Amino acid sequence: GENVEQHPSTLSVQEGDSAVIKCTYSDSASNYFPWYKQELGKGPQLIIDIRSNVGEKKDQRIAVTLNKTAKHFSLHITETQPEDSAVYFCAASLTGTASKLTFGTGTRLQVTL
């Protein structure tokens, strides 16, 4: 089955700096890569996703890049703010009715003032 590795496990940045979280996946057939943000005491919430026919996607301060050849994808957050502090999860799956999301182990991002 699919295996997703995520690094780093913790990341501390100063407000205004950029943050980058990286993930690698094992199944070359995976073609959907979402990123979830989990705030304390809450369930994960989708912040951005990318499909295998796209190399990069942006949404305001958040961007995701995908390198299918190397089987890795990354989350980039620019101009970080204190409210970006949370745990971030990457995931991978094959699209289809019975596809299953496989999650990375999470990155705890701390944005300091």
Partner 1 sequence: NAGVTQTPKFQVLKTGQSMTLQCAQDMNHEYMSWYRQDPGMGLRLIHYSVGAGITDQGEVPNGYNVSRSTTEDFPLRLLSAAPSQTSVYFCASRTTGGVLDTEAFFGQGTRLTVV
Site residues (vs partner 1, CB under 8 A): 1, 4, 6, 9, 32, 34, 36, 41-46, 49, 51, 89, 93, 95-106
Beta carbon nearer to partner 1, 10 or 81: 10
Query: Strands 45-51 and 86-92: what pairing?
Result: unpaired
Q: What angle do CA 10, 31, 61 make, to 5 degrees?
A: 45
Task: Provide the minimum distance between the beta carbon of 88 and partner 1 in the complex, in angstroms, as a whole number.
Answer: 11
Closest CA to 92 of 9, 10, 29: 29
Q: What is d(CA 55, CA 37) in angstroms, rounded to the nearest whole number?
A: 21
Beta carbon nearer to partner 1, 18 or 100: 100
Task: Provide the minimum distance between the beta carbon of 13 and partner 1 in the complex, in angstroms, as a whole number.
Answer: 21
Which tokens in the block code for residue 5?
């590795």
Task: Provide the minimum distance between the beta carbon of 14 and partner 1 in the complex, in angstroms, as a whole number.
Answer: 26
Beta carbon nearer to partner 1, 51 or 61: 51
